[in-house]
Structure 1
């Protein structure tokens, strides 16, 4: 395996790792909101966004490499990483919306 291929593989694993971390943190934030712990929920959502930013930074690096004539091999692992990241982004946005709804309902529930 070439050094370039190994670097691409490491980048792919970074995307998967940071995307997974983001999903986990977002779900922790939702659980905190369900307990009306909104400060904790906001902190966790921020941490999730930081993880997504790291994954997106790596994804952007791969895209820039391709635009500069150094494309990555299109592997099942690469597709999995992209799917993992997009799912994490989508779920985080949905969870953020759910937290806003819970905040609106919180006074009624207390």
Structure 2
């Protein structure tokens, strides 16, 4: 039973770190809209650190399964995977949006 609980904790780590990453990325986007690009860049880096934690936990679960550890797939696991995938996708888009905001800022300063 403790093994199941450990897996559940790892699943919650994926959800938590993925959610934190996405939230931080949206905070970065807000800073970019304010023209505070240095802080936006720092927040994007922080988002990637949380994203890496979530991805590391996901990788550990995948490796455990490859190595023969059996555990029941659950709706919670599916939710964690969906949450992580969405966070990765949104952070990528936010990074592109920040680049566009920087470019717009540069162009407006030249005009």
99-108 or 59-68, which deviates more: 99-108
Aligned position for 2:67: 68
Question: How large is the RMSD of aligned CA atoms in angstroms?
Answer: 0.9
Q: TM-score, normalised by structure 1?
A: 0.96
Q: Which consecutive aligned stretches of 4+ in structure 1 deviate over 3 angstroms post-superposition?
A: none
Q: TM-score, normalised by structure 2?
A: 0.95
Q: Supply the distance in 1 between the matched residues of 2:56 and 2:70 (Cα, whole angstroms).
A: 16
Unaligned segments of structure 2, at least 5 residues: none
Q: Supply the distance in 1 between the matched residues of 2:62 and 2:21 (Cα, whole angstroms).
A: 21
1:70 alignment partner, SS class: coil
Aligned position for 1:100: 99
Aligned position for 2:41: 42
Verify the 8 A CA contact 1:62 1:71 in the aligned structure 2: no
Q: How many residues align?
A: 109
Q: Supply the distance in 2 between the matched residues of 1:109 and 1:79 (Cα, whole angstroms).
A: 45
Aligned position for 1:24: 23
Q: Supply the distance in 2 between the matched residues of 1:88 and 1:9 (Cα, whole angstroms).
A: 20
Deviations 1:23-69 (A, max 9, x none): 10000000000011000000000000000000000000000000000
Unaligned segments of structure 1, at least 5 residues: none
Aligned position for 1:87: 86
